[in-house]
Structures are given as structure tokens and as C-alpha cells.
Amino acid sequence: MKLLIHICLFIPFIGFAISLAIRRGREANMARLALVTMIGSLISIVAAVSYWLVGGGKPVNVHDLSLYDDKAGHFHFFLDFFMDRVTSVYLLVGATVGLVVVAFSRRYMHREHGYGRFFNTILFFYFGYVFTVLAGNLETLFMGWEMLGISSFLLIAFYRLRYMPVANAIKVFSIYRLGDVGMLLTMWMSHHLLHENVAIYQLNFDGNQTIILDHYGEALFLAIMIILAASAKSGQLPFSGWLPRAMEGPTPSSAIFYGALSVHAGVFLLLRTYPFWKGIVLARVLIGAIGLATAIVGSLIASTQSTIKGQVAYSALSQIGIMFIEVALGLEMVALFHFAGNAFLRTYQLLVSPSSVAYYMREQFYHYALPVYPSFRFPFMRRAYMGAYLFSIREWNLDILLFKLIFKPLKKLGKPLWFIRRKSVLYILLPVYALGIVLSYTHMVTIPYLRHGIAVVFGILALAVVVKSYNERASSRLAWILLVMTHFFIHLAISFNLDQPNFLEAVLYLGGVSLAGVVGYWCLDRVRVAEGRIIDLNGFHGLVRKHRFTALIFLLCCLGLTGFPITTTYLGEDLMLAHIDSNQYVLAIVVSLSLVVLGIAAIRVYARVFLGKLTRDYHNKLELTY
């Protein structure tokens, strides 16, 4: 079974790696590679599921690769893979939908500028999907979870020299990062509650269930964080507004992402962690209430949408809301059948949507008829109907609500930090960091409560620095420097929590940060010199066409800085969270928020410098054909 699981992971990864070596303009080669990869993946998945069923269909856990072990039993980071009926259904549906979409895209995307880039991203997404579905512990699942997020951003912003696709890609990625708060805090609390990096198959052990009942408050917090992550990823209330914005990408990517696979990742997370929270009644009630509210609101908004993609998006959301209810009731098999049916239906609807648009345009031109409105016996019924209609037309102001509750406060918090400039980094932040390192490593402060208080202070300072970076407009280089400094202050905050700071862990964490930070700053400075002007963040500069290689390197630096699993920063972030005690909720939340805002700010720098509308007139013709 271990060999078959490795093959299921190996085929999409190799397909993606080979696709990077295919030269631009080689449409036939790229399409052939993508199709062969998807066919091979489907065959390997069918073989793995068949072998698993022949073996009795019992859950199988594969402990794979140990990446870090502190030898003291406090932290063990390892890759773990798991096969059960949830995994098998998600794998089969994903492979089938992926094959259909790739076969459709071969001709649909013909002569589209960025044809190879589209298939690169689709194959990368599919590898991340398989990795997520096969994940056997939360750390492994979060690696795939991050792959889904960044590939989603890249495909929404596929038309990367247009304003709206890039702006909506940033918005969707920001919502995804809000869900990452839940995932980070879930990993943190599960480590302390169960005293290890627990594998999925261990969640249902009687001993763990006893621990959950004995520590109800911590278990409830963990369950709420899981619900937060699942709701953001699957577009449940109040995060529903991002899904129609995600339809800015090409139709095939909308089908595979937001009709079939990625949008159901939240349901998968709930199914995967069901053994943990099934005994927490309040969590089940909350999941059911969120699903019911989303099903009602989503169906109302879907009936008022003027675009086919919008109708399909909100219809899918309402069905996912019903899946949340099914999972809350413990109806796992019903939810799995519902997922498969909804995924196939939405894929079909989105793939035929261009033809449907052409058909309805002809029908309305030749056979237009006035709409028939319902008649009401009582006036209050008419007022209620019109009120619901108007609210649905405005999509229940969900985007405005999220902006006022989350992003507007972030902007306001940045105003008092106007004094932070490049000289402030040199003369204030660096000396404060050096002083903190001396206090931490020399143990000049020995009182535990005082050390924990200082840790919170430096954690808040890290959050303040990253909020300033998020609000920085005058200089892209300053914003980047502040992002790097955020990681250093997070490390400093955690070091006050340790009786004896670990130098190796510091190198693992800050080594990846430093590498990404230095190379990223070089990229920004290179672009500044080439353009002969300061690159601000007041608008989108669209420099990817002039600096394609630099843009690619800078994107990789952004991923490394945000903890994407291509550098040791990802491992370091998990290590830092593991050193926060289970009763230090303030520090854990502050550090998690800092990491999440850092991810949003880093992608925002990349998007504003390299993507969006071009600023030079002589590029306008290129923009029209892109």
C-alpha cells in the first residue's frame, strides 16, 4: 500500500516538474504531457483504491518521512499518509474531474497567451490536492492546503495584466489566509492537547477521547478553529463573497477549483477531523447552523445573479452548506455521495457555460419575454419578497461586512505607525531586536511570568511591524524589509518562552527567512534600477512582461517568506508555535495573526509590483491580447 500511495503522489509531481521544462509555445507537447499525467494518475488511484478494498477497506496509515525530531519528545515533524473511504472518494472524484478538465482545456485554451502557464498551475494544483487528500496528520495536510491556496491565486490572476483578475485574486487569497489562522491554531492546540503531532488515525483512540472530555475548553477552542478553516476554504458564511470573485480565471480552472475540488476542501477537513469533534455538541450545532445559513442565503443570491458563473458559484455554496449539515449529523456516506454529485454537476455546468451564454443570447434576441412576478395576497409578503430580493442582489453585503470587520481595522492600525521608515528599521527595530536577543539568551530575566509577558510584548511588536508593511504604499523595498523583520520578532517572542533557546531551531527558522529576504530584496532593487524610478505600492505596475525571470524569482521568495513548504521556514513556523504553552492564548493568536497578515502583505507586494494594469502606453496593445 505504501508503494501505491507513493505512486499516486509521484505521478502528478513528475508531470508538474516536467511541464516546467517545456518551452513556451509548445502547445501540443504541454497538452500531451498534462493528459498523460492525468490518465496515469487516474490509473494509479484506481489501482490503489482497488487494492485497499481487496484488503478489507480498513483505514491504512503510512508513516513516511521524519523531517525533524528534537530527540526530547517535545516536537516531531513527519510526513504521514492515510487511506480510508473519505480519501478514496476524494481521490477518485479528483482524478476523474481533473482528467475531464485537462482534456477540455487542450482545445479551449488553444492560442491563449499563457497556455503553458495554465497547465503548469493546473498540474501543481492537482499535486497539492492529492497531497492534501492523502495527508495523515495536520502538518502534512497543511502543506497541501497551502499548495491549493497559492495555485488558486495564480489561476484567478491568470490574466495577470488586467486589473480585476489580479484584485480579485488578492481578495480570495486574503480570505484563504484568514482560514489559515484556524489551521495554525489547530496544529498548536492539538500538539498541546494530545501531547504529540498526532496522526489522523489516532484521533478516535479511547485515550484521546478521554483527554478531549477532560479538557473541554481546549477541545472546544480547537474545534472552533477547525470550523473557521473549513468555512473560509469552502466559502461558508460569512466568507461566501469570495467565490464568485474567483471566477475571474479561465472557465476550466473555475470548474476544477470552485465547482469541483478546491471548494470542497472545507468539507474534507471536517470529515477528516470528525472523530475529534464528534463528541462536542456545541461544535456540531455551530457547523450545522453555518451550513443552514449558507444554504439559505446562497440559494437566494443564486436566484438573482445575472451571470452564469455567479449562479453556479452560489448554487455550489448552498449545496456545500447542506454538506456541512450532513457532516454535523454524522452522515459521512451521505456527505461523500453529495460531494461527488455536486462536483460532477458543477464541473459540467461551468464547462458548458460559454455555450450556454451564446444560446441564451440568441434566445433573448429572438424570443424575449417580460419576466412574470409573483402576486401576493398580503402587502407584508410583497415587502418581504422585495427586501429579500434587494438583499440578494447586493449579495447580502458580505464583502462590505468582511471589509469593515477585518481589513478596515488593519488599515486603521497602520496609521499610527506612519513614523516607521527605513531609518527607523536601522535605528529603532534592529537595536530593540539585539537587546531582546541579549535578554533572552543570557537569561537576565528569570521570572517566568515576566518572561511570558515580554514574549507577548515582542509578539505584539511583530504584529505591529507586519501591519505597517501591509499598509505601506511609498516603497516596496521598505514593505519587504518589514516582512523580514516580522519573522525575527516572532522568533524573539518565542525565545522568551524557552528555558534554553535552541540554536538549531533558530537557524532552521531564520535561515529560510534570511535567504528569501535577501534574494527578494535583490529582485526589488534590480527592478528599481532597471526602471529608473522608485517602485511604490499605490497601484499595479504590471512589470512581469518586462521582468519575467525576476518576477518568478520574487514569487518564490514570497512563498519562502510566507512559510510555503519550499524552505525551512515552514518547519520553523511549526516549531515556533509548538513552543507556545497551551495557556498562552494571547501569544498564540498574535503570532498566528502576524504570520497570516505577513502572507497577505507579501503576495500584495508581488501583485502590485509585477501584476495588474500596465502603466506604459506602448504595452496597451499587448494587454488586449493577454
pLDDT tens figures, 242-259: 888 888 888 888 888 888
Q: In this structure, is residue 352 part of a structural domain?
A: no
Query: Which DSSP symbol is given to 533?
Result: S
Task: List residues bridging with 83 in a β-sheet.
Answer: 60
Cβ neighbors of 406 (< 8 A, separation 6 or more) are 178
pLDDT at 552: 92
Which residue, chain included where needed, has cell 526589488?
Answer: 524
Task: Assess contact for 331 and 274: CB atoms under 8 A.
Answer: no
Mean pLDDT calculated for residue range 36-65: 89
| pLDDT at residue 622 in the model | 39
283 domain residue, yes or no: no
| pLDDT exceeds 60 at position 206 | no
Answer yes or no: is pLDDT of 192 > 80: no
Give residue 61's pLDDT band: very low, low, confident or very high (50, 70, 90): confident
Q: Which domain holds residue 162?
A: 2-253
CA dist., res. 202 & res. 59, Å (int): 11
pLDDT at 454 > cutoff 70: yes
CB half-sphere exposure, 125, CA atoms < 13 A: 34
Counting residues of the chain whose pLDDT is more than 70, the rounded percentage is: 91
Does residue 362 form part of some domain? no
Query: Average pLDDT of 92-107?
Result: 92
Residue 94 is predicted with a pLDDT of 93
Q: Is residue 337 part of a domain?
A: no
Instruction: Compute the mean pLDDT over every residue in the chain, rounded to the nearest whole number.
Output: 85
Residue 160: per-residue pLDDT: 85
Residue found under cell 505504501? 2
Per-residue pLDDT tens over the stretch 515-550: 999 999 999 999 999 988 888 888 888 888 889 899
49 domain residue, yes or no? yes
Contact (Cβ atoms closer than 8 angstroms) between residue 317 and residue 294: yes
Q: Which of 185, 219, 253 is the last residue of a domain?
A: 253
In a domain, 27, yes or no: yes
Mean pLDDT of 13-42: 90
pLDDT in tens, 398-427: 888 888 888 888 888 888 887 788 788 888
Residue 381 has pLDDT above 80, yes or no: no
Query: Is 214 domain-assigned?
Result: yes
CA–CA distance from 571 to each of 131, 193, 205 (Å)?
Answer: 17, 20, 27
| Residue 301 exposure: Cα atoms within 13 Å on the Cβ side | 26
Position 511 in a domain: yes
Q: What's the structural domain count of the chain?
A: 2
**93 or 393, which is more confident:** 93
Q: pLDDT by residue (tens digit) across 289-311?
A: 999 999 999 888 888 887 788 88
Say what percent of the chain tops pLDDT 90.
31
The answer to whether 142 and 177 are in contact (CB under 8 A) is: no
Q: How confident is the model at residue 190 (pLDDT cuts 50, 70, 90)?
A: confident
- If you average pLDDT over residues 74-80, what whole number do you get? 74
Q: Which residues contact 521 (CB under 8 A, 6 or more apart)?
A: 477, 480, 481, 484
- Which pLDDT score is estimated for 621? 40
Asked if residue 340 has pLDDT above 90, the reply is yes
Instruction: Please state the φ and ψ torsions of residue 583, each to the nearest 5 degrees.
Output: -95, 5
More confident residue, 78 or 337: 337
SS3 304: coil
pLDDT of 620 > 70? The answer is no
- How much is the CA Rg of the chain, to the nearest whole Å? 25
Query: Residue 625: pLDDT above 60?
Result: no
Of 205, 238, 253, the one marking the end of a domain is 253
End position of a domain, from candidates 253, 271, 305: 253
3-class secondary structure for 368-379?
CCCCCCCCCCCH
Most confident of 85-99, 180-194, 252-266: 85-99
Cell numbers for 412: 486603521
Residue 616's pLDDT is 47
Which residue do the cell numbers 518551452 mark? 23
What confidence score (pLDDT) does residue 361 get?
A: 63
